Amino acid sequence: MPVTDEAIDKIKGMIISGELAPGDRLPKEADLASRLGLSRSSLREAVKALCLIRVLDVRQGDGTYVTSLEPKLLLDAMTFVVDFHRDDTVLEFLAVRRILEPAATALAAQRMTEADIAELATLLEGLDESPTVEALVANDLEFHRRIALGSGNSVLCSLIDSLSGPTTRARIWRGLTQEGAVAKTREQHRAIYEAIAAHEPELARSWATVHVAGVEQWLRKTLGSAS
């Protein structure tokens, strides 16, 4: 095994064992390198890799720190991974989202506070008459993120967030805009909101299922005709 991979494992071990806690600063490059028995160059490769998955955070001129290691942070790195998938696997991701999102929405209908729900309403009404595609995407992302947050499970929230990469979502909205399906989608958002506001988990779950299934169906059709 290359020394760099060994270093990755050792640093991982130091964190898992508790020797390095979230927020702690690592020894400086030179010291850690000699301690792990490799050169600074090789150590830097290990550190860089752990940075990409948000386990470490290097600040030039300061030092290298262990991140908070919160699920949100680590799962965010998954967005990077999802970006690599092409259209043929997007449907599989969407199918998973179709499982998770209704469950999260039902939980949100049980757990969201009145304040949360009010914010959700503000969000829904925060779009102009004829919004740009960018605004639609941003609003859509935020709407679903708030609901996922409302489930009270940060792992679930991050997962849902990552599963539909921003790129995919943008493409979908562009397509919906062209077909004039924007109004229908916004109606579904409103229906989901109202079910949550009424604290009706099963209704909320159903609307969420309908919503995601609609997107899935549309995407399947589009991909089918394209190929």
Residue ranges in contact with DNA by CB under 7 A = 2-4, 26, 28-30, 37-42, 44, 47, 58-64
Binding residue for a copy of itself, selected from 3, 6, 14, 53, defined by CB under 8 A: 53
Q: Specify the amino acid at residue 3.
A: V
Closest approach of DNA to the CB of residue 55, in Å = 15
Is residue 83 part of the contact set for a copy of itself (CB under 8 A)?
yes
Q: Which of 180, 108, 102 is nearest to 146 (CA)?
A: 108
Q: Which one of DNA, a copy of itself, none is in contact with 26 (Cβ closer than 5 to 8 A by kind)?
A: DNA
Enter the tokens of residue 82.
């999802």
Is residue 84 part of the contact set for a copy of itself (CB under 8 A)?
yes
Enter the tokens of residue 178.
């062209």
Tell me if 14 sits within 8 A of 55, measured CB to CB: no
**DSSP 3-state of 112:** coil
- Tell me how far CA of residue 137 lies from CA of 18, 97, 168, in angstroms: 40, 17, 10
Q: Which one of DNA, a copy of itself, none is in contact with 64 (Cβ closer than 5 to 8 A by kind)?
A: DNA
Enter the tokens of residue 52.
């990409």
Enter the tokens of residue 185.
């989608």
Closest approach of DNA to the CB of residue 80, in Å = 18
Binding region for a copy of itself (CB under 8 A): 4, 8, 12, 15-16, 41, 44-46, 48-53, 55, 69, 71, 74-75, 77-78, 80-85, 89, 92-93, 95-96, 99-100, 103, 153-156, 159
